[in-house]
A and B are shown apart, each in its own frame.
Chain A
Amino acid sequence: MISGYPTRVLVIEDVQFDYPAARGEGDGFSFGLRGLSVDRGETVAVIGPSGCGKSTLLRLAAGTLRPRSGTVHLDGADLAALGETAMRAVRLRSIGFVFQDFRLLDHLDVEENAMLPFRLGGLRADAAARTRVRELLDGLGIGHLRRRPIDRLSHGERQRTAIARALATDPGLVLADEPTGNLDPSNKRVILEALLGTARDRDAALLAVTHDHDLLDAFDRVIDLGTAVPA
Chain B
Amino acid sequence: MNAIRHALFLARRHLLHHRQRTALLVAALFIVGFLPIAVENLVQAGERALRARGDATPLVAGAPGAPIDLVLSALYFRSPPDKELRNAEIETLVEGDLARVLPLVLGDRVLGGPLVGTDPGYFEFRGLGIASGRAHAVAGECVVGAAVAAREGVEVGDRITTEPREFFDLAGAYPLRMEVVGILAEGDGPDDEAVFTGLATAWIVRGLAHGHDDLAESDDASLVMDDIEGEAIIATAKVREFVEITDENRSSFHFHASPGELPVTAAIVIPFDEKGRTILLGRADVGRLPLQLVDAAEIVDRLLVEVFRVRRILMGVLGVVGLATLLLVGVVVALSIRMRRVEIETMHLIGCGPGRVPLILATEVLLILAVAAGLAFLAGGLVVPMLSGAERLILG
Q: Which A97-142 residues have a C-beta within 8 angstroms of B?
A: 97, 99, 101, 103, 105-108, 112, 116-117, 119-122, 124-125
Determine whether the beta carbon of A91 is less than 8 Å from that of B2.
Answer: no
Is B396 positioned at the interface, with any CB of A under 8 Å from its CB? no
Q: Which B12-63 residues have a C-beta within 8 angstroms of A?
A: 13-14, 16-18
The residues of B that contact A176 with a CB separation of less than 8 Å are none
The residues of B that contact A85 with a CB separation of less than 8 Å are 353-354
Determine whether the beta carbon of A84 is less than 8 Å from that of B354.
Answer: yes
Residue of A nearest to B6 (CB): A119
CA distance A70 to B324 in the complex (A): 54
Determine whether the beta carbon of B349 is less than 8 Å from that of A122.
Answer: no
Is A190 positioned at the interface, with any CB of B under 8 Å from its CB? no
Is A196 positioned at the interface, with any CB of B under 8 Å from its CB? no
Residue of B nearest to A64 (CB): B349
Determine whether the beta carbon of B351 is less than 8 Å from that of A119.
Answer: no
Is A231 positioned at the interface, with any CB of B under 8 Å from its CB? no
Determine whether the beta carbon of A106 is less than 8 Å from that of B17.
Answer: yes
Determine whether the beta carbon of A117 is less than 8 Å from that of B349.
Answer: no
Report, as a range, how many residues of chain A touch the other chain: 20 to 34
Determine whether the beta carbon of B17 is less than 8 Å from that of A121.
Answer: no
Is B343 positioned at the interface, with any CB of A under 8 Å from its CB? yes
Is B278 positioned at the interface, with any CB of A under 8 Å from its CB? no
CA distance A116 to B191 in the complex (A): 65
CA distance A121 to B13 in the complex (A): 18
Q: Which B323-368 residues have a C-beta within 8 angstroms of A?
A: 342-343, 346-347, 349-354, 356
Is A204 positioned at the interface, with any CB of B under 8 Å from its CB? no
Is B3 positioned at the interface, with any CB of A under 8 Å from its CB? yes
Determine whether the beta carbon of A107 is less than 8 Å from that of B342.
Answer: no
CA distance A106 to B352 in the complex (A): 18
The residues of B that contact A93 with a CB separation of less than 8 Å are 351
Determine whether the beta carbon of A125 is less than 8 Å from that of B6.
Answer: yes
Is A155 positioned at the interface, with any CB of B under 8 Å from its CB? no
CA distance A201 to B349 in the complex (A): 24
A88 to B: closest C-beta gap in Å: 5
Interface centre among B3, B13, B346, B350 (most CB of A within 10 A): B350
Is A36 positioned at the interface, with any CB of B under 8 Å from its CB? no
Is B308 positioned at the interface, with any CB of A under 8 Å from its CB? no
Determine whether the beta carbon of B350 is less than 8 Å from that of A116.
Answer: yes
**A 48-75 binary contact with B (CB < 8 Å = 1; else 0):** 0000000000000010100000000000
| Complex partner residue of A122 from B9, B16, B346, B353, CB under 8 angstroms | B353
Is B10 positioned at the interface, with any CB of A under 8 Å from its CB? yes
The residues of B that contact A112 with a CB separation of less than 8 Å are 13
The residues of A that contact B2 with a CB separation of less than 8 Å are 122, 124
The residues of B that contact A125 with a CB separation of less than 8 Å are 6
Determine whether the beta carbon of B346 is less than 8 Å from that of A99.
Answer: yes
Is A229 positioned at the interface, with any CB of B under 8 Å from its CB? no
Residue of B nearest to A150 (CB): B17
Residue of B nearest to A84 (CB): B354
Determine whether the beta carbon of A117 is less than 8 Å from that of B351.
Answer: yes
Determine whether the beta carbon of B6 is less than 8 Å from that of A120.
Answer: yes
| Complex partner residue of B13 from A84, A88, A108, CB under 8 angstroms | A108
| Complex partner residue of A92 from B13, B343, B350, B354, CB under 8 angstroms | B350
Determine whether the beta carbon of A88 is less than 8 Å from that of B14.
Answer: no
B297 to A: closest C-beta gap in Å: 60
CA distance A128 to B217 in the complex (A): 109
Determine whether the beta carbon of B349 is less than 8 Å from that of A121.
Answer: no
A119-B10, A120-B6, A120-B356 given; A107·B350 CB < 8 A: no
The residues of B that contact A121 with a CB separation of less than 8 Å are 350-353
Determine whether the beta carbon of B13 is less than 8 Å from that of A107.
Answer: yes
The residues of A that contact B347 with a CB separation of less than 8 Å are 116, 120
Is A89 positioned at the interface, with any CB of B under 8 Å from its CB? yes
Identify 20 new A-B residue pairs, CB closer than 8 A, beyond the known A84-B354, A91-B350: A62-B349, A88-B351, A92-B350, A92-B351, A93-B351, A95-B351, A97-B349, A97-B350, A99-B346, A103-B343, A103-B346, A107-B16, A119-B6, A119-B9, A119-B10, A120-B347, A120-B350, A122-B6, A125-B6, A165-B350
The 9 listed contacts between A and B (C-beta, < 8 Å) are A64-B349, A84-B354, A88-B351, A106-B17, A108-B10, A119-B10, A120-B356, A121-B352, A125-B6
Could you list which residues of chain A lie within 8 angstroms of chain B, going by C-beta atoms?
Answer: 62, 64, 84-85, 88-89, 91-93, 95, 97, 99, 101, 103, 105-108, 112, 116-117, 119-122, 124-125, 149, 165
